Chains A and B, each alone.
Chain A
Amino acid sequence: GQQLNQSPQSMFIQEGEDVSMNCTSSSIFNTWLWYKQDPGEGPVLLIALYKAGELTSNGRLTAQFGITRKDSFLNISASIPSDVGIYFCAPYKSGTSYGKLTFGQGTILTVHP
């Protein structure tokens, strides 16, 4: 099966710092999703990328779909305490059942005020 590696596993940063995390895979995908899980809640979709090379922003979040279609990164600029949580990547090939969505291992983000 496909291998999906997300790094780093955890990050401890000061408020105001920028954050970068990435996912790499042994397989090619045509969509990359990034989810965030707040403490005690279920994951929520942050950003969806549909085209290789695409760079998409959502406020302080920026995500890119790698040219090789095997990787993606997520950047958070000027972090704030509410950025705390676990971030997951979840790539897929179009037409795949949602029931078979595979998630990365997650990046745990801690932001110190």
Chain B
Amino acid sequence: NAGVTQTPKFQVLKTGQSMTLQCAQDMNHEYMSWYRQDPGMGLRLIHYSVGAGITDQGEVPNGYNVSRSTTEDFPLRLLSAAPSQTSVYFCASSLGKLRQGNSPLHFGNGTRLTVT
């Protein structure tokens, strides 16, 4: 059982380049989300999805696109990379809404992105 798998683990981009961060989960989880982690700022929500075909914006969505064509996959697209997008990106998934007894949020191991 792989859990949440993120690829690549490391990436360096030049300003203006585009790329897609991949995220896949094999737990049949409804909910998937993307966070970015910056020093002193905790984890900030970029986009999330409550099921295939449904996505919504989080706290810091600008410069990022997402789609959810299948339950398993939730890619994050950087349209035109900027140095401010240098960060560690985490994908997470969970079975359902936040309630006692429900599965906790499961995180991948992150993608470390540097934009020069």
Q: Which of A14-22, A42-50, A63-71 contacts B (4 or more CB under 8 A)?
A: A42-50
Report how many residues on chain B are interfacial, defined by Cβ distance under 8 Å.
30
Q: Name 8 interchain pairs, CB-CB below 8 A, sorted by A.
A: A42-B4, A42-B107, A42-B109, A96-B98, A97-B31, A98-B48, A98-B97, A99-B49
Interface of B toward A, CB cutoff 8 Å: 4, 31-33, 35, 40-45, 48-50, 56, 58, 90, 92, 94, 96-100, 104-105, 107-110
Q: How many residues of A contact B (CB 8 A)?
A: 29
Interface of B: prevailing SS: strand
Query: Which residues of chain A have a CB within 8 Å of any CB of chain B?
Result: 6, 9, 31, 33, 40-45, 48, 50, 88, 90, 92-106
State the majority secondary structure of interface residues on A. Answer: loop
- Which of B31, B42, B100, B110 is close to A105, meaning CB atoms less than 8 Å apart? B42
Q: Using A40-B109, A106-B43 as known contacts, list a sample of 14 further A-B pairs with CB atoms less than 8 Å apart, ordered by residue number in A.
A: A40-B110, A43-B43, A43-B105, A45-B105, A93-B98, A97-B31, A97-B97, A98-B48, A98-B94, A100-B45, A102-B45, A103-B43, A105-B42, A106-B42
